[in-house]
Structure 1
Amino acid sequence: MDKHELGMFLRNRRERLRPEDAGLPSGPRRRTPGLRREEVAVLAHMSIEYYVRLEQGRAPRPSGEVLAGIAAALRLTDTETAHLHVLAGTVATGPTRLRRDVRPSILTLLDRLPGTAAFVVSATFEVLAWNDLAAALMEDFGRLDPDDRNLARRAFLRPDADGGLYGSSSAASFRQAVVMDLRATLARHGDDPAVTGLVADLRAGSTEFARLWEQRDVERVPMLTKTFRHPAVGSVTVDCDSMALEDRDQHLVLYTAPPGSRDADALTLLGVLGPGAAVPGRRP
């Protein structure tokens, strides 16, 4: 149970909820945003004292029934409710340390996906494995030290000159998704130095990350397409699919384009050019 973060999450969501959203009058005398603590307690059918102690990080672990009442009172989404349970320590969170080894079957699969840029990322956005087309589209990861293969560090601490990520037009959305995913990762692996160290570095090194982190959002919108401005083939728009590898808390990311499209032709050309195609300075 992460008492401090649980309390902060409850307060953040309470202050975001308008009284009228909960069927309460807004009234002219409210001095703080959102609902009052006592209002949440009444809506959640629990004592005011206990809810206050939860927000202050002084209460013992709440039961599943109490959390269900709080989730209903705060109008939490399914994703936010699941995050609430993780913070409260009422669900199994799996291995406490991240695994960096990729299943051999997934490594084999990467090389059997023609026309698909595919790679595996850890829960901290470290690129663990990739095929040649992913290296040609994004970067030759094999030439980088492991620390430099982290997409979260790349997005916030070493972005492209125009603020993008490999020329991607969706860099801002990606950065928001990174923050949300890392908050969930920290809840699952709070004792892993790789996780806590990454979050600390990003909070210290990026004002944008620090701002987004304090919003405590966990409900992300999937990115269905992404456009890269590539130095060798120009603009390439790809469909994005991400498949969870739950046993190791990793994701297999796939970039594809509709057969016969100009973007599919660009991916085919990148497959011929190989990883060196992503070298900055090479122009179409």
Structure 2
Amino acid sequence: MAASDIHSLGGLLRTWRERLHPADVGLESVGHRRAKGLRREELALLAGVSVDYVMRLEQGRSVTPSPQVVSALARALQLDRTETELLYRSANQLPPGPGKVSDHIPPGVQRMIARMADLPLAAFAADWTLLSSTPLWCALFATPSATDLPGQNLIVATFVDGTTARVATPHGGAEVFERAMVADLRRSAARLGDDPRFRSLVTTVRAKSPRFAELWDEGRAATHRSLVKTVHHALVGDITLNCDVVTVPDSDVKLVVYTAPTGSADAEKLDFLRVGAVRADIPARADSPAEG
């Protein structure tokens, strides 16, 4: 590879693709691999784009992918903040600055998600847009992955679509969950309130949901932490789980994980879904929420 090509968009994509192993991103290594790193089709799968598009980017036949595609590629390649900024600039795009909702998932968090596939685990942006999830998360909530259906937002699912109430019941009532979500979003508004994406979300949901508007106007701000929920599943019935929320240090990313006590009937139901997730026997419903 020529020195000048190393710093081109295509050269960077090839370099970063070749340094990852399928196991690093939660994929199985299938068949004989003549080249090191991820295959183009694996990167395409992870980023939610076509193989042909990845090829055109690497060959320099396409040099200005959209910010959404750049963000998806950065996540798929597990780039850190510096590398992500370089990718944006190589694609002739401005990287997200301070005060903007970021879809960047730190590489360490991406490795956690890839290696903790035995848990229902998902990562959300500060505005509660789903960024990534494990197969068991998708099986538990019968919902597509963020790659299959990008833009899933838990605030919209809760207050506009009303799908979260049909999927899970928080102990203490729906009001507990609703207040936790709005208070967490209010907390993020202190840093992100001027971001057009964030403002658009709040304005849209306020206009469509009197309940959201009521809670938003209360002005309560707090970190969303832990709840107990009963998930209503078509195959295993009701399953009661602990839901814990952790904000990643030096990041706006929120990790949400569901667990059941060891040896409990709920743990057995989760094990059943785990097997189904591995075998991909449980179809996803496009109208299901990204539960949190």
> 1:104-253 residue pairs with structure 2 within 5 A?
104-113=107-116, 115-138=118-141, 139-142=143-146, 145-147=149-151, 149-160=152-163, 164=165, 166-169=167-170, 171-219=174-222, 222-253=225-256
- Supply the distance in 2 between the matched residues of 1:101 and 1:221 (Cα, whole angstroms): 20
- Supply the distance in 1 between the matched residues of 2:168 and 2:180 (Cα, whole angstroms): 17
- Supply the distance in 1 between the matched residues of 2:194 and 2:165 (Cα, whole angstroms): 31
Larger Rg: 1
- Supply the distance in 1 between the matched residues of 2:217 and 2:231 (Cα, whole angstroms): 29
- Supply the distance in 2 between the matched residues of 1:223 and 1:165 (Cα, whole angstroms): 20
Larger mean CA deviation between 135-144 and 120-129 belongs to: 135-144
> 1:3-22 residue pairs with structure 2 within 5 A?
none
Is the CA contact 1:118–1:133 (under 8 Å) kept in the aligned structure 2?
yes
- Supply the distance in 2 between the matched residues of 1:270 and 1:208 (Cα, whole angstroms): 34
TM-superposed CA distance for 1:271, in Å, is 1.1
TM-superposed CA distance for 1:165, in Å, is 5.0
In structure 1, the partner of 2:268 is 265
Is the CA contact 2:182–2:212 (under 8 Å) kept in the aligned structure 1?
yes
**Cα deviations by residue, 1:185-239 (Å, 9 ceiling, x for unpaired):** 1111122111111000110010100111111112467433111011111111111
SS at structure 2 position matched to 1:268: helix
Q: TM-score, normalised by structure 2?
A: 0.58
SS at structure 2 position matched to 1:111: helix
- Supply the distance in 1 between the matched residues of 2:109 and 2:146 (Cα, whole angstroms): 18
TM-superposed CA distance for 1:246, in Å, is 3.0
- Supply the distance in 1 between the matched residues of 2:201 and 2:285 (Cα, whole angstroms): 27
Distance 1:143 1:230, change over 3 A: farther
Distance 1:143 1:245, change over 3 A: closer
- Supply the distance in 1 between the matched residues of 2:184 and 2:260 (Cα, whole angstroms): 26
RMSD value, Cα: 2.4
TM-superposed CA distance for 1:278, in Å, is 5.3
Q: TM-score, normalised by structure 1?
A: 0.59
In structure 1, the partner of 2:104 is 101
Amino acid at match of 2:235: A
TM-superposed CA distance for 1:172, in Å, is 3.0
**Cα deviations by residue, 1:16-48 (Å, 9 ceiling, x for unpaired):** xxxxxxxxxxxxxxxxxxxxxxxxxxxxxxxxx
Amino acid at match of 1:129: S
SS at structure 1 position matched to 2:232: strand
Larger mean CA deviation between 211-220 and 118-127 belongs to: 211-220
Amino acid at match of 1:113: M
TM-superposed CA distance for 1:247, in Å, is 2.0
Distance 1:221 1:104, change over 3 A: closer
Is the CA contact 1:231–1:277 (under 8 Å) kept in the aligned structure 2?
no
- Supply the distance in 1 between the matched residues of 2:270 and 2:195 (Cα, whole angstroms): 37
- Supply the distance in 2 between the matched residues of 1:105 and 1:220 (Cα, whole angstroms): 22
- Supply the distance in 2 between the matched residues of 1:218 and 1:102 (Cα, whole angstroms): 24
- Supply the distance in 2 between the matched residues of 1:165 and 1:100 (Cα, whole angstroms): 27
Amino acid at match of 1:267: L
TM-superposed CA distance for 1:270, in Å, is 0.8
SS at structure 2 position matched to 1:168: strand
SS at structure 1 position matched to 2:131: strand
Distance 1:96 1:142, change over 3 A: closer
In structure 2, the partner of 1:10 is none
- Supply the distance in 1 between the matched residues of 2:217 and 2:260 (Cα, whole angstroms): 36
Distance 1:250 1:95, change over 3 A: same
**Cα deviations by residue, 1:41-90 (Å, 9 ceiling, x for unpaired):** xxxxxxxxxxxxxxxxxxxxxxxxxxxxxxxxxxxxxxxxxxxxxxxxxx
- Supply the distance in 1 between the matched residues of 2:223 and 2:125 (Cα, whole angstroms): 17
Distance 1:142 1:249, change over 3 A: closer
